[in-house]
Amino acid sequence: MAYQSWAEELKQNFDETVSWRRYLHEHPEPSFEEKETAKFIEEKLKSFGVDEIRTNVGNGYGIVGTIKGGQPGPTVALRADFDALRVKEAADVPFKSKNEGIMHACGHDGHTASLLSAAKILAQHKDELKGNVVLLHQHAEELLPGGAKSMVEEGALDGVDYVFGIHLGAEQELGKVLYNYSFGSANSDTFTMKVQGKGGHGAAPHDTHDALTIGAQIIAGLQQVVSRLTDPVKPAVLTFAGFNAGGEAYNIIADSAEINGTVRTMHGDIQDMIESKLKSVSSGIAEAFDATLDIDYVRGYPSIQNDAAEVNKLKEKFLTVFGEDEIEEVEGAMGGEDFAYYLKEKPGAFLRVGAKFPEDDAPYPHHHPRFVIHEQSLLRSGEVFLAIVDEYLN
Ligand SMILES: [Zn+2]
Ligand SMILES: [Zn+2]
């Protein structure tokens, strides 16, 4: 097993890994605008002697690197996303974002640094590998339509047999490797509706079609879609995130209302049902009160479906290289992740690595201006990447 000596080298390079992460953290770029980040990654891959590097893959700055093993065998792809968010950093760190209003508030700086750290070791030892490693450095995970789907369409998985990804988790125990069978994330859809009524004088409601009260009825009525129409053993979330109507003056009845939100599901039949009810219930209520309704329902990332066989294989491997209390099976969560598109094509799994500060009982969630990760998690995620390669290519 080559793992032990690779992991030792990874540890020796840890300061360098941290310096990459901090550089990326100081220079975050939002989804589809990660030009300098991509340049940084490309330069690093070149310096490691990665055999093939494709840039501008997909609908943005995606990078696909290939490390060709010295002996024949399968090809394993490892993915790290590298986009940041439009969040103004409020975290108290010495390597705070230098790009105003943009922040690595999801840990993608850590994903990138740890995949680079693993890539450096693997490139140095490529002669030992029985097979190839494909490095998927992906742009734009945070913003629809995302980068993954287009990278797949442009051949990022050509010749790949298995695909794996890691997400750091600021709310999970530091260093813990979390795996999950079947559903790992939700089908993540969004919707916007516009209620068009007829505004008028606040003292003459009978001459109007009050868009505000009709909108409120729609929001109230749709609460029953999840609570009464959804099979309780199939998870579903319907969240209203915005409701804008009226407000110009105390005596004006709103002419129109805008409502938006998100729908999260794991099963296709529930997704279909909620989309259809969202449309029929809201237009029914609008029609009943003489308003019209426009609704735009957008299907986002599909849900992640991990392969049980690969998860089992990894679980056994992790038991040999980490402590039994350092790995844990978890339930899926209702977040969205475009890693799902890779798993639609190839078997594999999406894992989480805990990055919580041990003394912090109330960590800030992902996407929060005060979001932080413990950098020791970068070492663990690098180790996970190396363990995966060791399992499949040695
Ligand atoms: Zn995120
Ligand atoms: Zn993320």
Q: Tens digit of pLDDT per residue, the chain (394 long)?
A: 699 999 999 999 999 999 999 999 999 999 999 999 999 999 999 999 999 999 999 999 999 999 999 999 999 999 999 999 999 999 999 999 999 999 999 999 999 999 999 999 999 999 999 999 999 999 999 999 999 999 999 999 999 999 999 999 999 999 999 999 989 999 999 999 999 999 999 999 999 999 999 999 999 999 999 999 999 999 999 999 999 999 999 999 999 999 999 999 999 999 999 999 999 999 999 999 999 999 999 999 999 999 999 999 999 999 999 999 999 999 988 999 999 999 999 999 999 999 999 999 999 999 999 999 999 999 999 999 999 999 999 8
Count CB-CB contacts under 10 A for residue 359: 5
Strand partners, 78: 135, 164
Answer yes or no: pTM beyond 0.95.
Answer: no
Q: Which residues contact 263 (CB under 8 A, 6 or more apart)?
A: 187, 188, 189, 190, 191, 236, 237, 238, 239, 271, 274, 275, 278
Scanning the structure block, which residue is given the tokens 């916007």? 192
Active site annotation includes 383? no
CA distance 50 to 17: 17
For ligand 1, the distance from its centroid to the CA atom of residue 367, given in whole angstroms, is 6
Cβ atoms of residues 185 and 335 within 8 Å:
yes
Give the residue carrying structure tokens 């640094």: 113
Task: Compute, in degrees rounded to 10, the torsion defined by CA atoms 367, 370, 374, 375.
Answer: 80
Distances (CA, A) of 129 to 28, 316, 373: 34, 20, 32
pLDDT for position 1: 66
Q: HSE on the CB side for 105, CA within 13 Å?
A: 23
**243 burial class (0-12, 13-18, 19+ CB within 10 angstroms)?**
middle
What pLDDT shows up at residue 36? 98
Question: Is 324 annotated as catalytic?
Answer: no
pLDDT the model gives residue 182: 84
From the CA of 169, the nearest ligand is: 2
Packing angle of the helix pair 268-288, 211-229 (nearest 10 deg): 150
Residue 73 φ/ψ region, left for φ over 0, alpha for ψ in the -120 to 50 degree band, beta for the rest: left
Cross-strand bridge partners of residue 388: none
Which residues have C-beta under 5 Å from ligand 1, the single-atom ion? 106
Residue 54 CA, chain-centre distance (Å), reads 23
Cα separation, 332 vs 163, whole angstroms: 18
Which amino acid belongs to residue 338?
D
Which ligand sits nearest to residue 167's alpha carbon? Answer: 2
Structure tokens of 130?
Answer: 């029985």
Q: Which residues are within 5 Å of ligand 2 (an ion), measured at CB?
A: 106
Ligand nearest to the Cα of 86, by number: 1
337 CA distance to ligand 1 middle (Å)? 8
Query: Considering 81, 141, 310, 391, which one is annotated as catalytic?
Result: 141
**Which among 34, 42, 83, 375 is annotated as catalytic?**
83
What does each C-alpha distance from 209 to 197, 214, 258 come to in angstroms?
Answer: 5, 8, 15
Amino acid 358 reads P
Strand partners, 171: none
Q: Which letter, b or e, does each residue of 73-86 get, where b requires 16 or more Cβ atoms within 10 Å of its Cβ?
A: eebbbbbbbbbbbe
The CA 181 to ligand 1 mean position distance, Å, reads: 21
Q: How far apart are CA 300 and CA 134, in angstroms?
A: 26
Residue 169 CA to residue 177 CA, distance in Å, equals 10
> What's the 352 CA to ligand 2 centre distance in angstroms?
11
